[in-house]
Amino acid sequence: MKGCRKNNVRRIVLGGLLTMVVLVLAFAGRTVLFKNNLPAALTQAVPLAPPDAGRLQPLPGFASGAAFSMSLTPSQAAAQTSAKTAIRAKAAVKNGATVSKAPAKPPLPAQTKQKTVYLTFDDGPSKITPKVLEILRRQGVKATFFVLGEQAEQRPELISAIWEQGHAIGNHTYNHNYRDLYSSFTEFWSQIKQTEEIVRNITGVRPQLVRAPGGTFGHFDKTYFRLLAQAGYSVMDWTADSGDSRRKGVPAADILRESVADLTASRVILLLHDGGGHEQSAKALPEIIRRYKAAGYTFGVLDAEVQPVQFRVSASAAGAGHAQPSKAWIAANILPNRGLFTPGKALALEVGLLEAKLLPGEYTISGGQYKVPLRAAVERLGGKVSWEVSSRSGRVVWNGRTILADAAHQQLTITDGDGRQQIRSADVQLIGSSLWVSLRGLLDAAGHPPLTAAVTGEERRVKTL
């Protein structure tokens, strides 16, 4: 009887202990879920003790020393594991042990957006340009120079230096005269083409970038924008003005302040000048570069692939009543021009025992005829070209003949070795400062009539006698 009573007491004690273990685990799981602020913790059902928890139940595998397990949801299992870990940690601290925490993962680096600044210089080249080039060289920075045609004519060696040092060259018209440029689009066009040919004769490359003197705001109407785009040009204004042209003698400190006023923009196109009288701009340049570098900017070079920045058309420009070019003028000048910038095939000229090549952009095709720059075509084939100032004509000496190319009268005057002379009608155009002629007309006049014209996957080829 006494043994039975002891057994009953033992069962009651063991049952009570089991109930306490289950309740502790459930409470710990609920606490962990609450601390983790999981939405599921607000609705998680706490496991209740089974109805017969007061009695000792046979547990499969328990007697053989197998691990005690319960069927828990993932959140309950995580809570239980966390609770056990916390209990072990408290016990270790209580016994004087040191608890080592798992090393924290380093924070991921913040994603920084790419920032690019384009330094641009207008109105050169001038005596200040070499100093600007030297600063850029020392700093390892490239820039874009929007040059004036009349300055390029006077200082071709500086155009070559700009190009050879890896900078970009843009077109800033010929003389920067607002009255001429903004009286009509055809005058603006004439100056663009004139400067383009000057630069091409020096570098061999046509500038496709155009910047309007004074910017487009207040000067361009929709016709200017539309026709220049149709002709293949990229018009580029600016996003930041250094203020170096607002008045004469702007101090370097003021230029610096305006140039770095906003160092948070992802793209900056900065307007500076390297024309005469802008010594202070060159003085401010090293610190301008240092500030942009410190702010995390890279330095870019503009080209036709860069998204252009263009000011809106002002009400005054829209209502200025500029004369509109005729459809015939547009067809003759604007539409063929785009081909100068379109990737294409080189034109090989096989003339007698000589061969020359004109690259894409150095010739055009109009009305099924090749048109070429007179000087480039003749000189590459061994002839000589000079400029007749009085008649504004090109004088060619080639293959024992003298040819006078006259754009005003649209004719070629040919004088052979015996002094005999003949005059032929011809397609002769003065584009900028270069004469362009029909290739067939030129070859016929020189005594090299074309025999064949072919096009392959690699090139175009014209073969003559």
Catalytically active residues, by annotation: 122, 273
For residue 336, say if its preceding peptide bond is cis, omega within 30 degrees of 0: no
Query: In b/e form, how buried is each residue of 103-130, taking b as 16+ CB within 10 angstroms?
Result: eeeeeeeeeeeebebbbbbbbbbbebbb
Question: Which tokens hold the place of 243?
Answer: 């203020």
Locus of tokens 């601290």: 93
Q: How far is Cα 141 from Cα 167, in angstroms, rounded to an integer?
A: 9
Taking residue 356's Cβ as centre, other Cβ atoms within 10 Å add up to: 16
